[in-house]
């Protein structure tokens, strides 16, 4: 019975003029978006690999110099993208993809493609995720708003219900038929997209690519089904097809356009992120003041006293370590907690903003979907923070290794003026710093972060189905 | 087959049906006559459970409609003033769809074509989209749906209004065939001539009441018209 109804719905939808132009439009945009995403991804990955290689090479071949100066010369970390980033580029364009790692300073990421584009980019990049988040629900609304309303207006609803078919069967049949019509448009495009990634045979440090892809697909399926049942519910409940269309387009605009922007503003108001200038000024002041109110120079003095007692000496010249290097490393360690505190606060603020936005998903299902999509594609804030943390750990290690080498290798320079000129290291020494490698977070951690969002989407679908069942049960047979 | 027992329907303060008692047996064509608003369509809607009775009971095959709506609809076929079909599907596809909804999914294509032949729909028309059909053709598909459903009872709501005399005549002949097959037919109509010609019994309704019942074989055309007009004054 349900398949009979589904087949008839499908035939009717596909024969309608609406289907041809909306399907053509969606296919065109989706294919364009996937190709554009792929092209952007391929170009980015090539540049990223080349740049990381070049910067590693530059580090080694920077020329013989004092190791601490080498740490100043520094190194770059470039964030690699996982294969799913071609489908959802997430915050990549805004968050920065490269970090300069140098002695004494922790830096923000640079390399934000969005900075180099016109304001049109603020509408979001054309990528597959955006099309599915924004246009897929619109396709469902356009193909589905007449489902019950037009049958009521034309009188076929009476005719159909006179046969003794149950309203429940009618609802499930229509849902299946509409779902099939939407799938006919969208699924082939996605299969082509999937085939492109598979054919490219990418290597990635991310684990569980198959599971990630399946979960992303599940999230979009939940989202699409939510819109499908909401559309059927409103079609059954609305005064007429026009009203059903108005209500659903209104809801679509609310969840897919207004809320993603509004939730961002709301989250910013609730958890204000500092301005760049203020942030830097506060951190520098805190650095001078010392994390615990004891100034770095007082700490250095104490440390020197400690070392003198430890080695039972009273002059820098008698220390078995090169004091200038030891001092610089100690300064690094004194500053580290200040950096960690301030950068950590910014990161926590952004994460709090993100979580609040996810919770606003209670009124707009596009929000949790967006988070799941970028989270699993590896292009969200959590992975950006992970990249920044990796870069910071690398920076710390690089500076430590250079200072440590210097402190041991240049003991005889203690007390010599402008000693840095005399201690020259070469490529062999620089090679004790391994090339930068980004370790993406474990799949289980990525997934754990998204569990509440999956729960939200599940709740949306359950509510939509409930509404549809209720609306069809109570639906009027006559146009009002 | 069709039975109304003290059937009442009140809308707001308006009593659309005031205690209707009526029986239509297998092989009967019972024609309901009356002005617009007399309660004819309300009666049919109650048999289809499209509306709930205020009190009393509508029964099909002895089963109460309000309590067993889906079961009683298995025995019913409904042909309104305008049979509503899906414009983007062909006549054949519409017939198949409605037959399947009615629980008959065992027919072959030849069976469906047979039904359409019996109601006199041209073969070439059967494959065309219904959007292009005349009203008469739609009504024929409606009868084919009733045939395919093997309905024990038919509810017809002014099915011939707006049909040209030839189409109207063809439709009436189909009803006589269905009657011969043992169906109970309840038809609301304004056509006194057809009521006398094809009906077996006539009920005249006024203001929600059944005011008189006649057997068509006991009265002439002139009598039907005279009695009807007397009631309308």
What is the model's pLDDT at position A237?
94
Q: Is residue B226 part of a domain?
A: yes
Q: What CATH number does the domain containing B32 carry? A: 3.40.50.300
Instruction: Let me know the angle formed at the C-alpha of A263 by A259 and A265, rounded to the nearest 5 degrees.
Output: 120
Which among B156, B140, B139, B147 is positioned nearest to B48, based on CA atoms? B156
Give the three-state DSSP class for B16.
strand
Per CB-CB distance under 8 Å, the chain A contacts of B97 are: 4, 8
Counting residues of chain B whose pLDDT is more than 90, the rounded percentage is 53
Pick left, alpha or beta for residue B23 (phi over 0 → left; psi -120 to 50 → alpha; otherwise beta).
beta
Q: Domain boundaries in chain A?
A: 2-474
Count of beta carbons in the 10 Å neighbourhood of residue A400: 15
| Pair A347, A391: CB distance under 8 Å | no
* B55 beta partners: B8
Of B73, B82, B97, the CB nearest to A162: B73
Query: How close B216 comes to chain A (CA, Å)?
Result: 29
Q: A79 Cβ partners below 8 Å, 6+ apart?
A: A48, A92, A97, A98, A109, A384, A387, A438
Nearest to A212, CA basis, from A440, A472, A479, A4: A440
Digitized pLDDT (tens) for each residue of chain A, 480 residues in all:
899 999 999 999 999 888 999 899 999 998 888 888 888 888 888 888 899 999 999 999 888 888 888 899 988 999 888 888 888 888 877 788 888 999 888 888 887 766 665 554 455 677 889 999 999 999 999 999 999 999 999 889 989 999 989 999 999 999 999 999 999 998 988 888 778 777 766 666 677 788 888 899 999 999 999 999 999 999 999 989 999 999 999 999 999 989 999 998 999 999 998 888 999 999 999 999 988 989 999 999 999 999 999 999 988 888 888 888 899 999 999 999 999 999 999 989 988 998 899 999 999 999 999 999 999 988 888 888 889 999 999 999 999 999 999 888 887 777 776 655 667 888 888 999 999 988 888 889 899 999 999 999 999 999 999 999 999 999 888 776
Closest CB to A163: pick one of B73, B86, B155. Answer: B73
Task: Give the side-chain half-sphere CA count within 13 A for B209.
Answer: 5
Question: Which is nearest to A402 in space by CA: A381, A384, A423?
Answer: A423
Secondary structure (3-state) at A222: helix
- A4 to chain B, minimum CA–CA distance in Å? 7
Closest Cα to residue B94, out of B119, B60, B69, B68? Answer: B119
Residue A164 with chain B: CB contacts under 8 Å:
70-74, 76, 101-103
State how far Cα A318 lies from the chain centre.
Answer: 53
Mean pLDDT of chain B: 91
Q: Which residues of A touch B48 (CB under 8 A)?
A: 158, 161-162
C-alpha to C-alpha distance for B23 and A223, rounded to whole angstroms: 53
The model's confidence at residue B23, banded by pLDDT at 50, 70 and 90, is very high
Minimum-distance CB partner of B84 among A12, A158, A163: A158
Please tell me what DSSP assigns to residue A148: T
Q: Yes or no: say if A163 and B73 are a contact pair by the CB < 8 Å rule.
A: yes
Enter the tokens of residue A127.
């990528």
One DSSP character per residue, A72-135 reads HH-EEEE----GGGGT--TTHHHH-SEEEEBTTB----B--GGGGS-GGGGG----HHHIIIII
For residue A444, give both structure tokens: 């289980």
Chain B contact set for A8 (CB, 8 A): 86, 89, 93, 97
Q: Rounded to an integer, what distance in angstroms lies between the CA atom of residue A25 and that of residue A22?
A: 5
Residue of B173, B165, B140, B187 whose CA lies nearest to B40: B187
DSSP code at position B164: -
What does DSSP say about strands B29-33 and B201-206: parallel, antiparallel, or unpaired? parallel
* Inter-chain touch B84–A156, beta carbons under 8 Å: yes
Q: Which residues pair with A370 in a beta bridge?
A: none
Segment holding B230, helix H or strand E:
helix B221-232
Residue-level pLDDT at A415:
72
Burial of A428 (0-12, 13-18, 19+ CB in 10 A): exposed
Helices (H), A424-474: 427-430, 443-474
Q: Judge whether B100 is closer than 8 Å to chain A, CB to CB.
A: yes
Asked, for residue B138, whether it belongs to a domain, the answer is: no
Would you say residue B135 lies in a domain? no
Q: Check the CA dihedral A351-A357-A359-A365 and report its sign.
A: negative
| DSSP secondary structure string for all residues of A337-355 | HHHHHHHHHHHHHHHHHHH
| SS3 label, residue A68 | helix
Query: How close does chain B come to A167, measured CA to CA in Å?
Result: 10
**In angstroms, how far is the first alpha carbon of chain B from the final one?**
33
Residues of chain A with a CB closer than 8 angstroms to some CB in chain B: 1, 4-5, 8, 11-12, 15-16, 154-156, 158-166, 477
Both tokens of A17, joined, read 């003029």
Residue B76 located in a structural domain? no
Work out the minimum CA distance from A25 to partner chain B, whole angstroms.
22
Q: How many domains does chain B have?
A: 1
Choose among B77, B89, B103: nearest Cβ to A12. Answer: B89
Tell me the shortest Cα–Cα distance from B77 to chain A, in angstroms: 7
Distance, in Å, from the CA atom of B148 to the CA atom of B159, rounded to the nearest integer, reads 18
Q: Which residue has the tokens 């830097």?
A: A280
Rounded distance between C-alpha atoms, residue A130 and residue A124, angstroms: 8
Considering only CB atoms, which chain A residues are within 8 Å of B82? 155
Of A21, A72, A77, residue with least CA distance to A53: A77
Nearest Cβ partner for A162 among B76, B86, B105:
B76
Of the candidates B99, B120, B103, the one whose C-alpha atom is nearest the C-alpha of residue B111 is B99
Distances (CA, A) of A334 to A7, A157, A274, A298, A438: 71, 77, 24, 11, 26
Asked if residues B223 and B211 have their Cβ atoms less than 8 Å apart, the reply is no
B161-193 confidence digits (pLDDT tens)? 888 888 888 889 889 988 988 899 999 999 888
Compute φ and ψ for A271, nearest 5 degrees: -125, 80
B104 touches chain A (CB under 8 A): no
In chain B, residues with a C-beta closer than 8 Å to the C-beta of A154 are 84
Hey, are the CB atoms on B80 and A158 less than 8 Å from each other?
yes
Contact A155 B82 (CB under 8 A): yes
- Phi, psi values for residue A80, rounded to 5°: -80, 150
For A26, other C-beta atoms within 10 Å of its C-beta total 21
d(CA A383, CA A84): 13
Q: Whole-model pTM?
A: 0.88
Give just the sign of the alpha carbon dihedral A181, A183, A186, A192: negative
Half-sphere exposure of A480 (CA within 13 A, CB side): 11
A-B C-beta contacts closer than 8 Å: 69
Establish whether this prediction's ipTM goes over 0.85.
yes
H helix runs in A271-365, sequence order: 276-289, 296-311, 323-359
Q: In this structure, is residue B17 part of a structural domain? A: yes
Asked whether residue B62 is assigned to any structural domain, the reply reads: yes
CA gap A383, A406 in Å, rounded: 34
Residues of B in contact with A155 (CB under 8 A): 80, 82, 84
Gap between the Cα atoms of B4 and B186, Å rounded: 12
Contact A67, A424 (CB under 8 A): no
CA distance to partner chain B, nearest, from residue A242 (Å): 19
Query: CB–CB of A443/A208 below 8 Å?
Result: yes
CA-based nearest residue to B159, from B190, B182, B184: B190
Q: How is the beta sheet containing B184-188 ordered, strand by strand? A: B76-79, B153-157, B184-188, B29-33, B201-206, B209-215
**Torsion angle defined by CA atoms of residues A274, A275, A278 and A279, in that order, rounded to the nearest 10 degrees:** 60
- Residue B1 belongs to what domain range? 1-66+188-233
């Amino acid at each position: 019975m349900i398949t009979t109804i589904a087949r008839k719905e499908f035939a009717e939808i596909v024969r309608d003029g609406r289907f041809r132009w909306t399907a053509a439009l969606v296919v065109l945009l989706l294919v364009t978006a996937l190709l554009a995403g792929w092209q952007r991804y391929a170009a980015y990955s090539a540049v990223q690999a080349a740049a990381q290689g070049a910067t590693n090479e530059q580090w080694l071949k920077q020329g013989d110099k004092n190791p601490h100066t080498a740490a100043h010369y520094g190194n770059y970390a470039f964030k690699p993208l996982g294969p799913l980033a071609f489908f959802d580029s997430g915050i990549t364009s805004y968050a920065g993809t490269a970090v300069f790692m140098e002695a004494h300073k922790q830096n923000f990421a640079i390399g934000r493609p969005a900075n180099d584009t016109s304001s049109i980019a603020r509408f979001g990049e054309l990528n597959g995720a955006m099309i599915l988040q924004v246009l897929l629900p619109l396709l469902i609304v356009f193909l589905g708003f007449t489902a019950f309303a037009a049958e009521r207006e034309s009188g076929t609803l009476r005719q159909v219900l006179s046969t003794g078919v149950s309203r429940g069967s009618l609802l499930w049949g229509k849902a299946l038929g509409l779902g099939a019509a939407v799938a006919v448009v969208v699924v082939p495009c996605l299969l082509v997209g999937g085939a492109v990634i598979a054919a490219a045979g990418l290597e990635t440090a991310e684990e569980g690519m198959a599971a990630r892809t399946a979960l992303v697909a599940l999230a979009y399926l939940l989202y699409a089904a939510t819109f499908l049942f909401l559309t059927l519910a409103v079609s059954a409940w609305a005064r007429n097809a026009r009203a059903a269309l108005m209500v659903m387009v209104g809801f679509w605009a609310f969840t897919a356009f207004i809320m993603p922007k509004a939730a961002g503003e709301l989250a910013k108001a609730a958890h204000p992120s500092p301005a760049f200038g203020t942030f830097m000024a506060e951190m520098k002041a805190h650095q001078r003041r010392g994390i615990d109110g004891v100034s770095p120079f007082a700490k250095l003095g104490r440390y020197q006293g400690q070392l003198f007692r430890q080695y039972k000496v009273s002059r820098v010249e008698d220390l078995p370590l090169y004091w200038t290097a030891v001092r610089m490393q100690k300064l690094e360690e004194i500053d580290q907690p200040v950096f960690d505190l301030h950068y950590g606060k910014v990161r926590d603020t952004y994460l709090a903003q993100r979580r609040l936005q996810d919770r606003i998903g209670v009124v707009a299902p596009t929000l949790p979907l967006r988070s799941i999509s970028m989270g699993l594609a590896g292009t969200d804030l959590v992975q950006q923070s992970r990249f920044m943390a990796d870069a910071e750990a690398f920076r710390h290690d690089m500076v430590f290794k250079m200072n440590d080498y210097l402190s041991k290798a240049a003991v005889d320079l203690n007390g010599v003026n402008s000693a840095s000129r005399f201690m020259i290291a070469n490529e062999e020494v620089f090679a004790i710093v391994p090339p930068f490698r980004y370790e993406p977070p474990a799949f289980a951690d990525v997934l754990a972060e998204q569990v509440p969002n999956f729960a939200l989407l599940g709740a949306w679908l359950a509510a939509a189905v409930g509404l549809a069942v209720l609306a069809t049960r109570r639906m009027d047979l006559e146009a009002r | 087959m069709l039975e109304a027992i003290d059937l009442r329907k009140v809308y707001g303060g308006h009593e659309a049906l005031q205690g209707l008692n009526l029986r239509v047996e297998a092989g009967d064509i019972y024609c309901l006559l009356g002005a617009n608003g007399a309660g004819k369509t309300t009666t049919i809607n109650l048999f289809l459970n499209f509306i709930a009775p205020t009190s009393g009971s509508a029964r099909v095959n002895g089963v109460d409609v309000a309590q067993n709506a889906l079961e009683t609809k298995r025995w019913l076929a409904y042909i309104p003033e305008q049979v509503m079909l899906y414009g983007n599907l062909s006549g054949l596809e519409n017939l198949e769809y409605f037959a399947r909804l009615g629980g008959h999914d065992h027919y072959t294509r030849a069976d469906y074509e047979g039904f359409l032949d019996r109601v006199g729909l041209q073969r070439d028309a059967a494959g065309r989209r219904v959007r292009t059909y005349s009203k008469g053709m739609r009504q024929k598909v409606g009868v084919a749906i009733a045939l395919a459903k093997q309905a024990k009872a038919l509810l017809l709501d002014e099915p011939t209004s707006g049909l040209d005399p030839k189409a109207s005549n063809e439709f009436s002949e189909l009803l006589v065939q269905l009657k011969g097959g043992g169906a109970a037919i309840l038809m609301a109509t304004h056509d006194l001539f057809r009521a006398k010609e094809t009906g077996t019994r006539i009920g005249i309704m006024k203001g929600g009441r059944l005011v008189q019942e006649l057997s068509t074989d006991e009265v002439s055309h002139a009598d039907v018209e005279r009695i009807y007009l007397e009631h309308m004054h």
